[in-house]
Chains A and B, each alone.
Chain A
Amino acid sequence: MDMRTPLGKVRGLGSAKSGTEHFWRVRTTAVALVPLLLFYVVFLIIYAGKPYAEVVGALANPFVATINGLTVVASIIHMRLGMEEIIQDYIHSEATKIVLLILNAFFSLAVGGLCLFAVLKIAFAG
């Protein structure tokens, strides 16, 4: 006889061993991206087409640089997870799926790494 409570039975990570982590991360990054991207849009409205010195000067502002860094991190996590979902939905060959999932991870991390480096370089070195 199973003495566990209904809640106890469903606690844990489930058969996929990852539980709701994927779902949860998509949502937390999505919520974070709402204000971050609204800031970004306003920033771009102000600085689109402005000369180099003015744009770099604005990007070097600690507040802007922090928002920028957070936006990059949240975006990269969100886009990687989203593409993972698309790949898992549409690619049925196991080998292709694994290759694409790895390429997805590489692409996201590479773009994220480059963006973060650029943000920090502008903030610290101009």
Chain B
Amino acid sequence: MANVTNNRPLSPHLQIYKFIPTMAMSIVHRITGGALYVGTLLVAAWLIAAASGEQYFNQVNWLFGSIIGQVVLFGYTWALLHHLLGGLRHIMWDIGYGFEKEFSTMLAKANLVASIALTVLVWAIVLIVR
């Protein structure tokens, strides 16, 4: 049988469209999702170390406390908050609201701003509490 799937017309891909905020945040939502997938290993390492004993816990804590560790954790915090806020937008659309052009563009921009602001806020609180 001929390979019919090879000759199917393809829908235009990303480079055809104008780059707009909602599109950018859609891409970022997927990238942060993929990053969080890998980042789960950070949470796993922390929990497993806590369950394994003080020595392991201190080692992981030292790693997380190093400059590289702190940068990775800061990125992880941002990815988590950005994906969480993006998820709320998706739920709003799933329910059937917020498709208006101006509103969804505004929300896409707000998503980015809010995710950065919240990340800075969380880290500021952590540093103050500590």
**A98 vs B38: C-alpha distance when bound (angstroms):** 20
Q: Are A41 and B47 also in contact (CB < 8 A) when A30-B87, A52-B58, A83-B37 are?
A: no
**Contact residues of A between 87 and 121, Cβ < 8 Å to B:** 111, 114-115, 117-119, 121
The answer to whether A86 touches B44, judged by C-beta atoms less than 8 angstroms apart, is no
**A86 vs B57: C-alpha distance when bound (angstroms):** 34
Q: When each residue 20-40 of chain B gets 1 if its CB lies under 8 Å from chain A and 0 otherwise, what string results?
A: 000000000010011011001
B110 on the A face (CB < 8 A): no
Shortest CB-to-CB span from A39 to chain B, Å, is 13
The answer to whether A115 touches B57, judged by C-beta atoms less than 8 angstroms apart, is no
Residues of A within 8 A of B122 (CB): 41, 45
The answer to whether A55 touches B50, judged by C-beta atoms less than 8 angstroms apart, is yes
Q: When each residue 30-68 of chain A gets 1 if its CB lies under 8 Å from chain B and 0 otherwise, what string results?
A: 110110010001001110110011011001000000001
Instruction: Say which residue of A37, A56, A111 sits within 8 Å of B50 (CB atoms).
Output: A56
B101 on the A face (CB < 8 A): no
Instruction: Say which residue of A27, A37, A56, A82 sits within 8 Å of B33 (CB atoms).
Output: A82
For residue B58, which residue of chain A has the nearest CB? Answer: A52
Residues of B within 8 A of A75 (CB): 40
How many A-B residue contacts, CB cutoff 8 Å?
Answer: 77
23 interchain pairs, CB-CB under 8 A: A30-B90, A31-B91, A34-B84, A34-B88, A45-B122, A45-B125, A48-B126, A49-B126, A55-B57, A56-B50, A59-B50, A75-B40, A76-B40, A82-B33, A82-B34, A83-B34, A83-B37, A86-B34, A114-B47, A117-B51, A118-B44, A118-B47, A122-B51
A73 on the B face (CB < 8 A): no
Interface on B for A, CB 8 Å cutoff? 30, 33-34, 36-37, 40-41, 43-44, 47-48, 50-52, 54, 57-58, 61, 65, 77, 80, 84, 87-88, 90-91, 94, 122, 125-126, 129-130
**A30 vs B47: C-alpha distance when bound (angstroms):** 22
A79 on the B face (CB < 8 A): yes
Instruction: Say which residue of A31, A37, A79, A121 sits within 8 Å of B51 (CB atoms).
Output: A121
Shortest CB-to-CB span from A25 to chain B, Å, is 13
Residues of A within 8 A of B125 (CB): 45
Shortest CB-to-CB span from B73 to chain A, Å, is 9
The answer to whether B37 touches A27, judged by C-beta atoms less than 8 angstroms apart, is no
**A55 vs B53: C-alpha distance when bound (angstroms):** 12
Shortest CB-to-CB span from A43 to chain B, Å, is 12
